[in-house]
A = this chain, B = another copy of it.
Amino acid sequence: MREKGPLVHCITNYVTVNDVANVLLACGGSPIMSDEIQDVEDITSLCGGLVINIGTLDQRTIPAMSAAGKRANALGHPVLLDPVGAGASALRTRTALELMEGLELAVIRGNISEIKTLAAGSGTTRGVDADVADSVTEEDLDGPIALVQSLAAETGAVIAVTGAIDLVADGERCFVIRNGRPEMGRITGTGCQLSALACAYVTACPDRRLEAAAAAVAAMGLAGETGWANMAPSDGNSTYRNRIIDAIFHMDGAALDRGARYEVR
């Protein structure tokens, strides 16, 4: 990963874009942000992968997402979709579904509510966070696993659902990952950062998309644990944000191997 230094084109929301850029640099990749339709095809052509995050979509950027995705597909670059808020508004749901339909996606990463919305073709979620009723728990793993595997089979994309327990699946196997800390939900953008990280990993290892996406999910969760361990008593969510990215900066393959907690189903 650090040797390949994948260059990742991000069309991503303006809320968390700085952290997305820094986490890509932390993991050894490089970010380029561009959302202008006259610019995105040139930019994506220079890169190795593309993240489409619809967190602050607008009428100007939606066609740019589609154009960039098509160019990335034509070049064989992996495209990751982060359907932020799918189910929370008609525009977000429709846009996410149209991008799924129009593009060949390597990975779709969202919370369980967003992924359920995409699987159902419609839905309602509580804003941009997962609905409590939708949470993935130890008591009910089979349902969510079946859901993500079925969506993976249908779309050809690796599906990554993150929450208290993370699921990363293709049509055949599902990684169940138990890294992370609940306090990560008190920081804006850990999901967006993970999407960028997963795209960087898949760009570096295109032949092992499932394992690469699962490694990114475990790495982000592990960084959440390491970052939390480095917190001083007066530190809160803003410092925690820095410590997580810092932990990615220092993480190597050996640390990830030691710290990753997962099973394959």
**A residues adjacent to B (C-beta < 8 A):** 7, 13-19, 21-22, 25-26, 30-39, 42-43, 46-47, 55-60, 85, 88-92, 126-129, 186-189, 226, 230, 234-239, 241-250
Contacts and interface: CB of A to CB of B under 8 A. Distances in A.
Given A33-B56, A39-B91, 16 more contacts: A14-B33, A15-B21, A15-B31, A18-B188, A18-B189, A36-B58, A42-B89, A42-B90, A43-B127, A234-B246, A236-B250, A238-B241, A238-B243, A238-B246, A241-B242, A242-B242
A21 B188 contact: yes
Contact of A85 (B13, B26, B32): B32
A7 B128 CA distance: 10
B237 A32 contact: no
A54 B18 CA distance: 16
- Of the listed residues A26, A92, A188, A247, the one surrounded by the most CB atoms of chain B closer than 10 A to its CB is A188
Contacts of A33: 13-15, 55-56
